[in-house]
Amino acid sequence: MGKFLVRRILAIPITFILITMVLYGVIMLAPVESRIDLYMPNSPKISSDPVLMERIKQQIIKRYHLDEPYLNQYVFWLSNLLKGNWGYSPVLNNNVLPELLNRTPATLELLFYCMLLYIPLGLIAGVQAAYKREKGPDYLFRFSAFIGAAIPDFILSIILLAILYVNKGWFAPERLNVQNNLIVHSADFINYTGFLTIDGFLNQRADISLDAFRHLVMPVFTLGIAQWATLGRITRNSTIEEMNKDYANAARARGLSEKQIVWKHAFRNALGPALNSSALSTAMLITNVFVVERIFNINGISEMISMFGPMVPDAAAVLGFGVYCIILVLLLMFILDLLQALLLPRVREGTIENG
């Protein structure tokens, strides 16, 4: 387990550096002036005087190495990032990092409940379908997985909104209803975690928690269904593969029931490919999270890129957003690796090098 995890941990900074290099390289294509915002002091008053503004800009270019070769600029920018200086966004009229951090809990809450549901349900459905393969439950699973994966998120969300929100009124978009939103933003309400579903209970306001759950149902379902389908299909296929292997036949010869073989042996070995593919598609998951956030009007991280229209230049915000997303993806990948290390016998005991 140690070796496996160390290897995965070592890959994280390498990935981070490579991707940030690409990000900065792309932004380098733009003229120097557009990168000034990365180092702009957060005080809008400066911009009132154009001559003074111009002088400040020239100073920033000199002082922050903006006219130097790529590698110098990149290293300087990266060290600034690590110091917590993520630049000033003219669109948001604030520093980028605090704006990102403010919006994180909403995104993480959505992501957390989605993963809490789709990982166990996907694994169970996949294994059950493999156990009952070519029978009713298997066909049911394959049909629903096919539908779940083929309908685009935004179309599913339209249908859900029409039926469950407008027609039935059971669930709703956004994070909270209007009254509760006022309460949450008042001084009495203490933000412990930023997760409204948990903070409600901690503030002795169970109704707020319930309301937050009510608003989470549709986004979590929309987001989860495609993930569930993909994970389930991979689990099903790798479980079937495992069940055709020699050890499974040996277990059959010893007289173990098919159910025991599936759940005790095949399932554990099938976990590897399933979790591995989940880890690989984390980036896609994050993309889907942002799409769902936009559709259901949740003020998460994706607000950073929807605030500026297509023609408003804001290099600091887009770079900050990119870097933040990569950190999020790497973190999630690491959690999935950790899960794999904890659950997989071969990885746990260190008998294989790479899961």
Pick from 3, 9, 15, 62: which binds other proteins (CB under 8 A)?
15
Nearer to other proteins, 20 or 209 (CB): 20
Of the candidates 28, 48, 46, 47, the residue with the CA atom closest to the CA atom of residue 38: 28
**The token pair that represents 108 in the structure block:** 């993480």
List the interface residues with other proteins, window 108-147 (CB under 8 A).
Answer: 133-134
**Binding to other proteins by residue 92, rule CB under 8 A?**
no
**Binding to other proteins by residue 252, rule CB under 8 A?**
yes
Rounded to an integer, what distance in angstroms lies between the CA atom of residue 252 and that of residue 264? 13
Segment contacting other proteins (CB under 8 A): 39-47, 69-77, 189-197, 304-312? 304-312
- 95 forms beta bridges with 88
**Binding to other proteins by residue 329, rule CB under 8 A?**
yes
Pick from 330, 336, 341, 347: which binds other proteins (CB under 8 A)?
330
**Binding to other proteins by residue 95, rule CB under 8 A?**
no
- 94 forms beta bridges with 89
Angle at which helices 136-150 and 206-243 pack, to 10 degrees? Answer: 120
**Binding to other proteins by residue 318, rule CB under 8 A?**
yes
- 288-294 — which CB contacts under 8 Å span 24+ positions? 288/153, 288/223, 288/226, 288/227, 289/107, 289/110, 289/111, 289/114, 289/223, 290/107, 291/153, 291/154, 292/110, 292/153, 292/157, 292/219, 292/222, 292/223, 293/106, 293/107, 293/110, 293/219
Rounded to an integer, what distance in angstroms lies between the CA atom of residue 171 and that of residue 184? 19
**Binding to other proteins by residue 206, rule CB under 8 A?**
no
**Binding to other proteins by residue 338, rule CB under 8 A?**
no
Q: How far is the CB of 228 from other proteins (least distance, A)?
A: 14
CB burial of 271-284 (b: ≥16 within 10 Å; e: otherwise) equals bbbbbbbbbebbee
**The token pair that represents 42 in the structure block:** 């957060």
Q: How far is the CB of 29 from other proteins (least distance, A)?
A: 6
Rounded to an integer, what distance in angstroms lies between the CA atom of residue 241 and that of residue 334? 26
What is the per-residue binding string for other proteins in 147-186, x denoting contact by CB under 8 A?
---xxxxxx--xx-xxx-xxxx------------------
Pick from 5, 78, 121, 291: which binds other proteins (CB under 8 A)?
291
Contacts with other proteins by CB under 8 A: the residue count is 71
Pick from 3, 6, 9, 30: which binds other proteins (CB under 8 A)?
30
Segment contacting other proteins (CB under 8 A): 67-75, 77-85, 111-119, 317-325? 317-325
Burial class (CB in 10 A: 0-12, 13-18, 19+), 33: middle
Opening angle at CA 34, ends 31 and 37, nearest 5: 150
**Binding to other proteins by residue 93, rule CB under 8 A?**
no
- 88 forms beta bridges with 95
Nearer to other proteins, 75 or 155 (CB): 155
Nearer to other proteins, 182 or 280 (CB): 280
**Binding to other proteins by residue 9, rule CB under 8 A?**
no
Enter the DSSP assignment of 68. Answer: S
Nearer to other proteins, 34 or 80 (CB): 34
Nearer to other proteins, 46 or 182 (CB): 46
Segment contacting other proteins (CB under 8 A): 9-17, 72-80, 104-112, 214-222? 9-17
Torsions phi, psi of 94, nearest 5? -160, 170
Q: How far is the CB of 288 from other proteins (least distance, A)?
A: 9
List the interface residues with other proteins, window 38-77 (CB under 8 A).
Answer: 51, 54-55, 58
